[in-house]
Amino acid sequence: MARDSVLTRAVRIFDAFDPDHPSLSVSEIARRTGLHVATASRLVEELVRHGLLARDERRRVRVGLRMWELASRAAPTLGLREAAMPFMEDLHAVTGHHTQLGVLDGREVLFVERLSMPNAVINLTRIAGRLPLHASSSGLVLLAHAPAGLQEDVLAGELAAFTPSTVVDPRRLRALLADVRRGGVALCPGYIDERATGIAVPIRGPGGKVIAALSVVVPNDAGARAQVPALKAAARGISRAVGADVL
Amino acid sequence: MARDSVLTRAVRIFDAFDPDHPSLSVSEIARRTGLHVATASRLVEELVRHGLLARDERRRVRVGLRMWELASRAAPTLGLREAAMPFMEDLHAVTGHHTQLGVLDGREVLFVERLSMPNAVINLTRIAGRLPLHASSSGLVLLAHAPAGLQEDVLAGELAAFTPSTVVDPRRLRALLADVRRGGVALCPGYIDERATGIAVPIRGPGGKVIAALSVVVPNDAGARAQVPALKAAARGISRAVGADVL
């Protein structure tokens, strides 16, 4: 096997950080990446020199401001996010719960924006976090409008259950996707956490293509469905702002 | 001179993208980075394989979702941003103008969050954008609380004027920094653009250290100063949320 390239190893190092591990020692990095300590140490030094990683007062390593800057200045979702933000703020103010924006990446939904309040209902999503397509409301919206090949792949693959409410039967999932296309909304009570209901609607880009999902996470109770009109209205506004013909 | 490392060249490639150039052809990348086309092409291919860059339908190159994900998932400013967002949303709703959050990076302010409306007053700042410390309200707040060495460096360095209103005289700047420390606010009418006034206040972290600047950009008129109390109140809320003793 060929030796990993510098870039492959750098990606493994960045991949070792997550919201629960925002700072790591070099030995933790070595353990989490499977790199030798000497290799990890050398590469961390070089990444720190570029500002892509940074060391804090305790010499622990963090993602650097420069890395964030290079990735964010021309981020692929910047236009979508700027168009969505005013509508997301209003939706967030009205519902008082988590409001988020997700895009399809591979076989997962990647959340590119999230507004939340500290005391809102439980929410597993995070900015730059991922959830599987079949279990989350945003994922179901994106999957419902994905190419048939991806739908078949996901339905034929492993379908993990987060709770007893998660739909993991391929036949039921197929019917659910049809419902989502027909109703223009995915309503998922307890699919990810029994206490929460995810509700997602599609955001369309030019040509009517679904480019993202707008979602809220609210308590899993009878009031959840009442959020749908506000969510649909916000999604129309965002779609119009990114140039879709929403009529 | 030693040959540039792969990482150095990769950083130069990412540095070629900005909000005005979110997609580039390989030959544009070569021109903007000074790399040979063959070198740029090879490295772009490898970065695309890792998802750090992506190609659109027209084979133009963009920053990849994976790059954004790796930089954002454990971004150094994530905690600050999450703490600040609810206060920024309220401030944005009340003032109706641009609201932004900036941190000190080198001799510049780096903006880590921005809420804006399409029809608000002109604003040169962008997410992951930078402005010089001496000319922007956020920069003056950060500089006023920076180590004396950095202050002296900036005052002794080149002080570019954006408009005739930009303060570029070191003596006047020194007095201005003292005013900012005393009054707890930087009010900068027309310093960056004659039509706009930047107003910034400090956000403090644990121990009382200034860790960021919260700012609004409003029209350059007599009403600008009326925004100060709302801005100060929001900054206190954010400081408290990140664990500062604000009393």
What residue spans define the domains of chain B?
6-72, 78-241
Task: Give residue-wise pLDDT tens across range B204-227.
Answer: 998 899 999 999 999 999 989 999
Task: Give residue-wise pLDDT tens across range B119-146.
Answer: 555 666 677 889 999 999 999 999 999 9
* Model pLDDT, residue B122: 62
Residue B152, amino acid: E
- The alpha carbon of residue B198 and the mean position of all alpha carbons in its chain are separated, in whole angstroms, by 13
Any A CB within 8 A of B7 CB: yes
**How confident is the model over B12-22, as a mean pLDDT?**
92
pLDDT at A247 over 60: no
pLDDT at A97 over 90: no
CB contacts, 8 Å: A10 with chain B: 7
> Hey, what CATH class is B6-72 in?
mainly alpha
* Model pLDDT, residue B15: 95
pLDDT at A2 over 70: no
Any B CB within 8 A of A2 CB: no
The verdict on a CB contact (< 8 Å) between A19 and B78 is yes
User: Between B72 and A24, where is the model more confident?
Assistant: A24
**What ipTM was predicted for this assembly?**
0.87
Task: Give residue-wise pLDDT tens across range B98-121.
Answer: 899 999 999 999 999 888 866 555
Contact A22, B74 (CB under 8 A): yes
CA-wise closest residue to A214 among A120, A121, A100, A134: A100
Reported residue count of chain B is 247
> Confidence band (pLDDT; 50, 70, 90) for B61?
very high
What CATH number labels A78-241?
3.30.450.40
The verdict on a CB contact (< 8 Å) between B50 and A110 is no
CA-wise closest residue to A23 among A67, A53, A65, A68: A53
Task: State how far the Cα of B222 lies from the Cα of B60, in Å rounded to an integer.
Answer: 47
pLDDT at B243 over 90: no
> Confidence band (pLDDT; 50, 70, 90) for A1?
very low
Any A CB within 8 A of B160 CB: no
* Model pLDDT, residue A79: 83
Residue A106 carries which DSSP code? T
Beta strands B186-189; B130-132: pairing state = unpaired
* Closest Cβ opposite residue A6 in set B6, B75, B116: B6
> 171-230 in A: which are within 8 Å (CB) of B?
none
CB contacts, 8 Å: B66 with chain A: 11, 105
- Residue of chain B whose Cα is closest to the Cα of A83: B118
Task: Give residue-wise pLDDT tens across range A173-200.
Answer: 999 999 999 999 999 999 999 999 999 9
Element (H, E) at A203: strand A196-204
* Model pLDDT, residue A246: 67
